[in-house]
Structure 1
Amino acid sequence: MSANEDPLADVLAELGDFGKYQCIVVLLLSVAVMFHAYPHNAFVFTARSIDHRCSIPECYNESKTFAPEWLPNAVPYKNKKPKSCERYKYIEDRFNSTGTNCSQENFDTDIIENCDSFVYESSDRTILVDYNLHCDSNLWKLTMVGTANVIGQFIGLPITGVLSDKYGRRTVLVLGTLLCAIFGIARAFSKSYLLFCILESLDAAALSGTYVCSFLLGVELVGPKKRVLAGTIIWCFYPIGVMMTAGVAWLVNSWRYLIVILYLPLLSISFYHWIIPESVRWLLTQDRKEEARAVLLKAAKVNKRTLTQKSLEKMMTGVAKQVNEPLTDILQSKILMVRFFNASFCWVTCVFLFYGLTLNSVALAGNSYIDFMLTSLVEIPAYIVIYFVVDRYGRIYCQTGSFLLTALSCFVFVFISDGKLFDINDIFLNILKCFQSSMACKCYSTYWENLERLPLSLSVTLSQARYFQQL
């Protein structure tokens, strides 16, 4: 949609593309996006597997060292690591030549027993410890936490989309974040694994629609020339939030304390009900014209600008022609449905790679917290690159090129990872691929989620094409 077709075009021109008022709103909503990253990624650390082995109480000199020299005598190994839940049978009073009770002669390697007490490689305390999710047989329960998070988003995205179009973007942002904080803090005190997973799904469902609401509220009053810049600023705060999540997890060993520390700041979003304006476009579609006028006049006052009566009347008339499009009419529009399914497919492709890389970073050799932060840090330069490329070449060419570049980097990775061309550290491979996929995600999200592409009254509902990514 061109600028002269935008009902807000004349008002935004008089208001200023990116004045003081818009800067304040964008920064406040960027903080909300940063907070969004906390619960969205916390499960990576709260449900992380910790290497553990059987405790050998018969060895009176056993320390908390994970792999003492005598351990191969007492515990079977696999892939050069002690097995998590198996040990050799201890033989009482067997004579041994070393005079110790931990020599090979004290254990029958033909008889393997299971154990119920463990020694851990690190001091981190995840739900594996508190809910007794040890051993390979319980590994699926740790993975299920991430699945519960995704199920919550799968359920919450369409619901919050409809609620946002009916009750307002600010309402869903504030209420969704508040509910997420309540469910999250309650999860820190959960006594059972089942309750933990239920609360994980509930807080993910509550938070699922807040990101889009933050994005739309942030870019709505920004002029067309600065809209991509505003979106880029908002997007850059998400990886900052991801890095802060990893940093806090690195400093806090207990998953319960980690959740409380991460979720408490979300309560501050409640104040946004009074300091963030409701969407002007949404207010106009609800025929709340005086409230919309008040928001614009306040913005003009902060920016030290004057809005003419002519531009305000043109805005009212222009939006009135677009309000209350029935969803059935939208579904019958071939153009909109092609856009919708194209967006869904691109989101599935993008998320499949992007989140796979990010979540896999904690499984790499080395410090998992640093690896996780690095794979998030690389998103910021990717977003900045996209901003300049989109501004010069347009969104469609940028979107296509970045997806092709991502595909090429993945193709090259197959040969690099197999050592057919040359060897390179895993973390740098992930940084390379994450950089490419970040560009694809950023370009497409800016292209799709822009308000200009969707009918005003159903913008959030239809922009929830991300709903299909959860599949």
Structure 2
Amino acid sequence: MSKDVSVVGLDAILRELGAFGRYNIMNYALILFPCYLAGMYAAIYIFEAGDINYRCEVKQCESINNVSLWLDYAIPIEKGKHSKCFQYASTTNSCTADAFNTNLKEKCSSFVYSDEDSIVKDFDLGCQNWKRTLVGTIHNSGLFISLPMTGIISDKFGRKKALSFAALMNCIFGFSRSFSTNYVMFLVLEFLEAGLGAGAYTTSFVIAMELVGPKGRVFGNTMLNTFYVFGLMSLAGLSWILQDWRKLLKIIYLPSCFVFTYLWILNESIRWLISKGRHEQALKVIKRAAKMNNVQISDQTLAPLQKIEAKPTEEKNEVDGEPKKSVFVQAMKSSIIRRRLLTCSFLWITCTFVYYGLSINSVSLAGNKYVNFMLVAFIEIPANFTCLLVLDKFGRKRVLIIMYILSAILCISLTFLPKDQTYLSLGFYLAGKFSITVAYSSVYIYVSEVFPTNVRQSLLATCSSTGRIGSTLAPLTPLLALYYESLPSIFFGTMTIIATMLVFTMPETINMPLPDSIEEAERLSKVKHRKTNA
């Protein structure tokens, strides 16, 4: 009895175990917590490196308590506000109106910061916006390392080991960052935390997808994304309450140390155990799950697994004289898998580029920045539940095509709306964020369904890390508007239109069991969508 046969039978085992038993609920509850934390970690740089109010220090005037008596004389007005980076040249050592030359501006040599909290104030980064925005770039750059690395660890050593490792890295480097004494130390720790710990979410996602049958994947994906949004909203709330980035880092990163204990309390993925030939361990987990769910797995369902020889398939191949080969290399030899990997990577780049581009440009929304951030995050919750309603009803491809096209229409339409139509613009903006969020959530689950089990997380992580090209480029979109105001919207629309065309080349995976071998993954392109129970 081959390994492939046993893994195919796993979907039948999962059906008999049930989707909402005590075993499933307990494991999902454990997985939701790191997803919640991941939401906070993904956006923390927005608040720890947030822009704040400051002005030039006018040394001869600072001793005067009533700043309004001299501020207009000393600091020029730019776009209706006092300049942050320039002051009028002093002609005398006094603070009268004639003590400043209003025809000559000078760059600030030192700054007076508001009471707002940010690394801008602590590390004296006034008028060095490139240093402030570099924090986000450094954070996203770390993802190019963490996601593939965590994927390799997960596929080789196990899902829970990869998750525990990433959580420990988050705890160590995130918590340590709160003690940064200078800008360089802060950046190094920012990179290490993201570079070694950002794979916690993708690992949690893979565990969740492998925990349930085909029918449970969309609901599981919705719950993960919803808790991720709760993390985003909690981050804004905590930032608003604490007003101290050092305390904020301590509070949100310390709980990640608890996730490290999952190494001992979380059950390993049954599907991963079987794919690695660890059939005895897989059988123990299945029996434990059946006991917790108070169900009996039929002997007929367990028969294929119980008949498998105890030694791993890899060992059998070596005994038979077949050289052991890297599964990843074998997967890359498949032209179908290669094309699929490139297509999925572009779909991911499109989602991150538009998603983060809209988020970054949301600073133009009037009002409290913390409330605005929570509002923009909250719109993702109905988007995620929309996925729950439509993905299993209309299929992955159709939903992706519609949402990409809708995103393109809404983004480009924003350019043509009159500027005085505040509420209409806000409605279009939130609708654009809604549609790209649906697409983003759909891509996550879709990509996990088109690759085989033994390289699933490696290829999922490759797509995700490649997709970070989009989130890295997104902060540059406001610069495009300096050349042509509509250029960012044109870029967003063009990317989503190309992505739409690429989706047509992909297979439909609705109600299909997860492929466990390269051959099964290749056959997805050749079979018609069929209905299964799960």
State the TM-score, normalized to the length of structure 1: 0.89
**RMSD of aligned residue pairs (Cα, Å):** 2.5
- AA aligned to 2:115 is S
Deviation at residue 470 of structure 1 after TM alignment: 2.0
Are residues 1:313 and 2:303 paired?
yes
Distance (Å, rounded) in 2 between the aligned partners of 1:396 and 1:373:
30
Deviation at residue 384 of structure 1 after TM alignment: 0.6
Report the counterpart of residue 166 of structure 1 in structure 2.
156
Report the counterpart of residue 59 of structure 1 in structure 2.
61
Report the counterpart of residue 415 of structure 1 in structure 2.
416
Are residues 1:106 and 2:99 paired?
yes
- SS in structure 2 of the partner of residue 108 of structure 1: strand
Distance (Å, rounded) in 1 between the aligned partners of 2:386 and 2:375:
17
Are residues 1:215 and 2:234 paired?
no
Picking from 16, 31, 45, the partner of 2:33 is 31
Structure 1, unaligned stretches of length 5 or more? 94-100
Sequence identity (%): 34
After superposition, the Cα gap between the structure-2 partners of 1:64 and 1:157, relative to the gap in structure 1 and judged at 3 Å, is farther
Question: How many residues align structurally?
Answer: 453
Deviation at residue 335 of structure 1 after TM alignment: 1.9
Q: Which moved more, 1:348-357 or 1:300-309?
A: 300-309
Q: Which moved more, 1:409-418 or 1:146-155?
A: 409-418
Indicate conservation of the 8 Å contact 1:154/1:467, yes or no: yes
Distance (Å, rounded) in 2 between the aligned partners of 1:402 and 1:408:
10
Distance (Å, rounded) in 2 between the aligned partners of 1:17 and 1:346:
30
Distance (Å, rounded) in 1 between the aligned partners of 2:359 and 2:159:
29
Indicate conservation of the 8 Å contact 1:183/1:199, yes or no: yes
After superposition, the Cα gap between the structure-2 partners of 1:242 and 1:51, relative to the gap in structure 1 and judged at 3 Å, is same
After superposition, the Cα gap between the structure-2 partners of 1:63 and 1:55, relative to the gap in structure 1 and judged at 3 Å, is farther
Indicate conservation of the 8 Å contact 1:375/1:430, yes or no: no
Deviation at residue 24 of structure 1 after TM alignment: 1.9
Q: Which moved more, 1:321-330 or 1:274-283?
A: 321-330
After superposition, the Cα gap between the structure-2 partners of 1:90 and 1:76, relative to the gap in structure 1 and judged at 3 Å, is same
Picking from 117, 122, 125, the partner of 1:133 is 125
Deviation at residue 103 of structure 1 after TM alignment: 4.0
Distance (Å, rounded) in 1 between the aligned partners of 2:276 and 2:151:
16
Distance (Å, rounded) in 2 between the aligned partners of 1:256 and 1:458:
39
- AA aligned to 1:308 is S
Distance (Å, rounded) in 1 between the aligned partners of 2:18 and 2:240:
43
Report the counterpart of residue 454 of structure 1 in structure 2.
451
Report the counterpart of residue 83 of structure 2 in structure 1.
83
Picking from 282, 299, 302, the partner of 2:272 is 282
Post-superposition CA distance 1:237-266 (Å, at most 9, x none): 111100111111111222211211111121
After superposition, the Cα gap between the structure-2 partners of 1:64 and 1:416, relative to the gap in structure 1 and judged at 3 Å, is farther
After superposition, the Cα gap between the structure-2 partners of 1:83 and 1:4, relative to the gap in structure 1 and judged at 3 Å, is same
Q: Which moved more, 1:297-306 or 1:262-271?
A: 262-271
Are residues 1:300 and 2:290 paired?
yes
Distance (Å, rounded) in 1 between the aligned partners of 2:296 and 2:66:
71
Deviation at residue 311 of structure 1 after TM alignment: 2.0
Deviation at residue 48 of structure 1 after TM alignment: 1.3
Post-superposition CA distance 1:37-85 (Å, at most 9, x none): 12211101111121211133433674487xx364221111221222213
After superposition, the Cα gap between the structure-2 partners of 1:22 and 1:356, relative to the gap in structure 1 and judged at 3 Å, is same
Deviation at residue 338 of structure 1 after TM alignment: 2.0
Indicate conservation of the 8 Å contact 1:374/1:431, yes or no: no
- AA aligned to 2:444 is S
Structure 2, unaligned stretches of length 5 or more? 318-324, 470-534
Distance (Å, rounded) in 2 between the aligned partners of 1:446 and 1:27:
19
Indicate conservation of the 8 Å contact 2:53/2:116, yes or no: no
Deviation at residue 348 of structure 1 after TM alignment: 0.4
Q: Which moved more, 1:408-417 or 1:187-196?
A: 408-417
After superposition, the Cα gap between the structure-2 partners of 1:64 and 1:258, relative to the gap in structure 1 and judged at 3 Å, is farther
Indicate conservation of the 8 Å contact 1:378/1:434, yes or no: yes
